[in-house]
Amino acid sequence: MTTTAGALADQLRHLLGPDRLLEGDLARNLYSHDGSIVGGDCGIVALPETTDEVAACMRMAHEAGVDVVPRGSGTGLTGGAVPLEGGLVISLARMRAMGEVDVANSCMWVQPGVLNLDVSTAIAHLGLHYAPDPSSQQACSIGGNVGTNAGGPHCLAYGVTVQHVLGVEMVRPDGQVVVLGGVAPDPPGYDLRGVVVGAEGTVGVVTRVLLRLTPLPPDVRTMLLDFLSVSDASAVVQAVIAAGVIPAALEMMDRNMAMAVEEFVHAGLPTDAAALLLVEVDGTPAEVETATAVVEHVAREHGVRTVRVAQDEEERALLWKARKTAFGAVARVKPSYYLHDCVVPRTRLVEIMEAIGEITEREGVMCLNVFHAGDGNLHPIIALDRSDPDETARAMSAGDQIVRACVAMGGTLSGEHGIGVEKRDYMPLVFDHDDLEAQACVRRAFDPDGRMNPDKVLPTGTRCGEVGLADTQVPEGTWI
Ligand SMILES: Cc1cc2nc3c(=O)[nH]c(=O)nc-3n(C[C@H](O)[C@H](O)[C@H](O)COP(=O)(O)OP(=O)(O)OC[C@H]3O[C@@H](n4cnc5c(N)ncnc54)[C@H](O)[C@@H]3O)c2cc1C
């Protein structure tokens, strides 16, 4: 530890007490990872419990010139919460208080360490829920969801995190506390709340979030459809929406994934089908009846083999358990996985699924697909054993080709997991130099010293034009 870092640690220990400053090797190792395959180097970890404590930590780090990485539950899949070169990790995991529900305005302030699912559980008795539902919702935090602008199966109809965050309280890199947005919809001026959501911890530390709460639907129906070809299943996704029905959720699972999940969850998934669609429709009973009929009709036109409708809440929960534990089920196949989160326009689903099949077959790696098909948001999961360098290299190569194929089809790098480190160097595939510089300028407006989650999101060397000019030391008075 350098002298500066040592002095910062002393100050933080004084502020938080020895139990809330983690400095040992075990903790530093744990906090050097998240849910991705990215590994980093953690300096020290602070565990504040209030906004004032976060502000004090930030002021101390600012004065010491030390980098800061905010962290929620560490379930991120792009290395966003992984410190790369020491510095201070601020974990928000102990900030788990929920405020009063403002029933009249359907909203509630929560601290960032609150787990996603705990929000819906706490407000269900009021007939409300928090709509964005990442499959990791039992473990991921609201702060992390804000950081990544998280999505989830039900975001097809309800929208992703940014549509459900009315305001944020944030501590800026110098320790100043600001509130952006609020209960009033569409406040005048620049939408800085919108900048913070999805900023991946690069503009400040979010310390409270004002969540929009959504009424629970009066009726819900969940269906499992199975197909003998991936192309037929992909075509149904497009055709259902073209027929005017936006299901609450429209998820796809291929055979490899269905086999792994079935062995794990025993939900009665057909393991001989090429692809399964999990479709949920909701609304009034009449709307649900109509939407179900449309989905069944379209599916039959595309050769669906069976249509299983969940008969009760228990069966519905089992089908969702199968979907939401899918990533974990990959452990039955290989010890690790490399996952992408690219998006293609829904109309290109058939083509991209064929391309993924060809790429992974050519590279000789096993791919399991489970994804938010209705959004065109793919999750090709390449199962691998990282102790095998040859297999790891082939998995990386397949991943690279999949990303490029998605972009070539008019898609983009990430639908919900964010960019972090893992997708950072792909940014020039979708943004030109000027775009990247403009993004660097936005970041710099919040964090002039570049100490918030450095080396994330924007490729190394991307700089705000103004900084570049200052660094060249143009003589005073020169016109440029
Ligand atoms: C099994 C599994 C399933 C998943 N399914 C989904 C899914 O369906 N949809 C989806 O979107 N994601 C999914 N994810 C990815 C992950 O759960 C999400 O990205 C989630 O939003 C991360 O939350 P977290 O609390 O773990 O954040 P972390 O991983 O700790 O952090 C994520 C990012 O947010 C920043 N951050 C965290 N807290 C704050 C804060 N208070 N202020 C500022 N920045 C902050 C971090 O710096 C980092 O850049 C899944 C992951 C797993 C392991």
Average pLDDT taken over every residue of the chain: 94
**How many whole angstroms from 145 Cα to the centroid of ligand 1?**
5
For residue 463, the model assigns a pLDDT of 82
Residues near ligand 1 with C-beta < 6 Å? 34-35, 69-77, 80-81, 92, 112, 134-136, 140-141, 143-145, 147-148, 150-152, 200-201, 205-206, 327, 416-417, 453
Q: Work out which ligand 1 atom sits closest to the CA atom of 92.
A: 41
Ligand 1 pocket test, candidate residues 30, 114, 148, most atoms within 8 A of CB = 148
Query: Cα-flanking dihedrals φ and ψ of residue 199, to 5°?
Result: -80, -5
Q: For the segment 294-323, what is each residue's pLDDT rounded down to a tens digit? A: 999 999 999 999 999 999 999 999 999 999
Residue 56 pLDDT greater than 80, yes or no: yes
Ligand 1 pocket test, candidate residues 33, 36, 135, 163, most atoms within 8 A of CB = 135
Instruction: Give the mean pLDDT of 320-348.
Output: 93
CA-nearest residue, atom 15 of ligand 1: 76
For residue 185, the model assigns a pLDDT of 77
Q: How many residues does the chain have?
A: 480
Residue 114 pLDDT greater than 80, yes or no: yes
Residue 480 pLDDT greater than 70, yes or no: no
Residue 4 pLDDT greater than 90, yes or no: no
For residue 325, the model assigns a pLDDT of 92
74: closest CA among 124, 38, 26, 126? 38
CA-nearest residue, atom 18 of ligand 1: 76
Decide: 440 and 463 in contact? Cβ < 8 Å. yes
Q: For the segment 172-186, what is each residue's pLDDT rounded down to a tens digit? A: 999 999 999 999 877
For residue 330, give Cα distances in angstroms to 225, 343, 407: 22, 21, 26
Q: For the segment 244-280, what is each residue's pLDDT rounded down to a tens digit? A: 999 999 999 999 999 999 999 999 999 999 999 999 9
Instruction: Give the mean pLDDT of 467-473.
Output: 44
| Rounded Cα gap, residues 376 and 442, in angstroms | 29
For residue 476, the model assigns a pLDDT of 54
Instruction: Dig out the tokens for 218 from the structure.
Output: 């009066």
Ligand 1 pocket test, candidate residues 377, 417, 422, 452, most atoms within 8 A of CB = 417
pLDDT band, residue 479 (cuts 50/70/90): very low
CA-nearest residue, atom 11 of ligand 1: 150
Q: Work out which ligand 1 atom sits closest to the CA atom of 417.
A: 19
Residue 34 pLDDT greater than 70, yes or no: yes
Instruction: Dig out the tokens for 4 from the structure.
Output: 């500066």
For residue 165, the model assigns a pLDDT of 98
Q: Work out which ligand 1 atom sits closest to the CA atom of 112.
A: 41
Note the pTM of the prediction, 2 decimals.
0.94
Q: For the segment 418-455, what is each residue's pLDDT rounded down to a tens digit? A: 999 999 999 999 999 999 999 999 999 999 999 999 99
